[in-house]
Amino acid sequence: MALIDRFFARAFTRGELTVIHPGGATRVFGAPDPALAPVTIRLARGAARQIMRDPAIGAAEAFMDGRLTIERGDILALLSLAAAGNMWERGSPALNATALARAWSALRFRFDRVNMARRSKRNVAHHYDLNDRLYDLFLDADRQYSCAYFADPANSLEQAQADKKAHIAAKLALEPGMRVLDIGCGWGGMALYLHAKTGAEVLGITLSEEQLKVARRRAEGAGVADKVRFELIDYRAVTGQFDRIVSVGMFEHVGTPQYRTFFAKCRNLLSEDGVMLLHTIGRAGAPGVTDRFTAKYIFPGGYIPALSEIAQGYEGLRMYCTDVEVLRLHYAYTLDHWYARTVAAREQIVALYDERFYRMWTFYLAGSVIAFRYGGLVNYQLQFARNRHTLPITRDYMAAAEARFQAGG
């Protein structure tokens, strides 16, 4: 007990955490903080050792299996307590795994990141081919499963996701008659939006069979299936030429050894005056590894890149990076909505799966909130062009187009 208590004392310095050990002994860590709700947890026998070996996945699996139960507060409140006093900017090592666990994670990551085509489809299916009803329960009506754009943190999720589509569309500098490739099209919302706002013909590609069914059904329902097509195909197998390429929330699944392949393929698919917009989660700091919980339960084969790693992917390909924007807290706001909707839909999610899946999903969303609010994750939007003369030389055109799209134009 003494070892785990020392760990809690080091990790929980802001806010108040009460821990009830097996046998009933109670310890209190930290101090009351008006910005952080107090939390009480109960540990079953063996949970302390599990957490000490590797705090991230150990705490997650103890929570999922019911060996760590929360008697006051919830998992988001618990993770907030752990992170608030260990912010990324301060470089605190309090929640690091043991040296052995870190070495094993690095070895596993080197193997997992070789995300060749034969593994990509299986990795995507693991997450995106879940029960269709699950995503309806926590996403907006358009099923935008990526960072929204909050012009005001008080905006609704629906407004912020609509603003995200306008923000991206404006950066594409679309003109009538253009052909657009949407790499990682999800359930089709972005492709349908681009066509509706600009008349562009769009090809959306995905590796998720469930997403493909929904996207095609939506295009047919809107009467635009001849202008907005969706295919089950890997980006490496796409042929033809496109005036614009957009990719939102897909790059995290590419794998670092394939970054060069990805950008070279995109350049070859772009017309001479082509423009590309890449929207991806990114690391604010140096390259790292995917944590074990995410790799095991959520996104096998996934990796969040550092900006330096993205740059290494396109450098030397003679494709201009014409604009970079860093969205810092936008994903934390987005995830706040997703988490709240998931908690509100607990009974439906347990009915779809079981209690363990519900706890896993809430841990995933709560951990993601923390990573963007206190940790080192951000969102990057990078714009590329093959020709230096394709785009205006100032950013004014983006604001003008964005306002036009938001006004319904």
**Which whole-number Å values give the CA distances from 232 to 26, 207, 238, 342, 382, in the listed order?**
55, 5, 10, 29, 25
Q: What is the mean pLDDT of residues 346-358?
A: 95
CA–CA separation, 304 vs 288, rounded Å?
A: 8
* Cβ atoms 281, 330 nearer than 8 A: no
Number of C-alpha atoms within 13 angstroms, CB side, residue 218? 24
The C-alpha atoms of residue 213 and residue 209 are separated, in whole angstroms, by 6
pLDDT (tens digit per residue) in 301-341: 889 999 999 999 999 999 999 999 999 999 999 999 999 99
CB atoms within 10 A of CB 274: 23
pLDDT digits (tens, 9 = 90+) for 200-214: 999 999 999 999 999
CB atoms within 10 A of CB 118: 8
Write out pLDDT tens, residues 252-305: 999 999 999 999 999 999 999 999 999 999 999 999 999 999 988 998 888 999
> Strand 39-43 to strand 15-20: parallel, antiparallel, or no bridges (unpaired)?
parallel
Say how far apart CA 344 and CA 150 lie, in whole Å. 22
**What integer pLDDT is reported at residue 300 of this predicted model?**
87
Which region, left, alpha or beta, applies to residue 184 given φ > 0 means left and ψ of -120 to 50 means alpha? Answer: left
Cα 273 from Cα 385, distance rounded (Å)? 7
Cβ atoms of 356 and 65 closer than 8 Å: yes
Q: What would the mean pLDDT of 7-19 be, rounded to a whole number?
A: 93
Give the chain's domains with CATH numbers: 2-97 (3.30.1050), 115-406 (3.40.50.150)
pLDDT band at 66 (very low <50, low <70, confident <90, very high): very high
The rounded Cα 296 to chain-centroid distance in angstroms is 16
Q: 106 pLDDT band (50/70/90 cuts)?
A: very low
pLDDT band at 105 (very low <50, low <70, confident <90, very high): very low
- Report the C-alpha dihedral over residues 100, 106, 110, 111, rounded to 10 degrees: 40
Report the mean per-residue pLDDT for the chain.
91
Query: For 12-33, what is the mean pLDDT?
Result: 94
Please tell me the distance from the alpha carbon of residue 203 to that of residue 243, in angstroms, as a whole number: 12
What is the arithmetic mean of pLDDT over 388-404?
96
Annotate 319-370 with DSSP letters as a single string.
-EEEEEEEE-SHHHHHHHHHHHHHHHTHHHHHHHS-HHHHHHHHHHHHHHHH
Cα-Cα-Cα-Cα torsion 366, 369, 374, 376, nearest 10 degrees, comes to 110
* Cα–Cα dist 98/85, whole Å: 20
Q: Contact, 222 vs 192, CB < 8 A?
A: yes
Which of 208, 209, 207, 164 is CA-nearest to residue 189? 164
- Taking CB atoms within 8 Å and a gap of at least 24, the contacts of 210-218 are 210/128, 210/129, 210/130, 210/132, 211/128, 211/129, 211/185, 211/186, 211/187, 214/132, 214/143, 214/187, 214/188, 215/185, 215/186, 215/187, 215/188, 215/191, 216/188, 218/187, 218/188, 218/192
Among the listed residues 150, 300, 121, 304, the one whose alpha carbon sits nearest the alpha carbon of residue 212:
121
pTM of the model: 0.91
Q: DSSP state, 42?
A: E
- The pLDDT of residue 125 is 52
| Mean local confidence (pLDDT), 384-392 | 96
**74 pairs with which residues across the strands?**
none
Mean pLDDT of 130-154: 94
Task: Return the H-helix or E-strand segment holding 117.
Answer: helix 117-128
Per-residue pLDDT at 409 exceeds 70: no
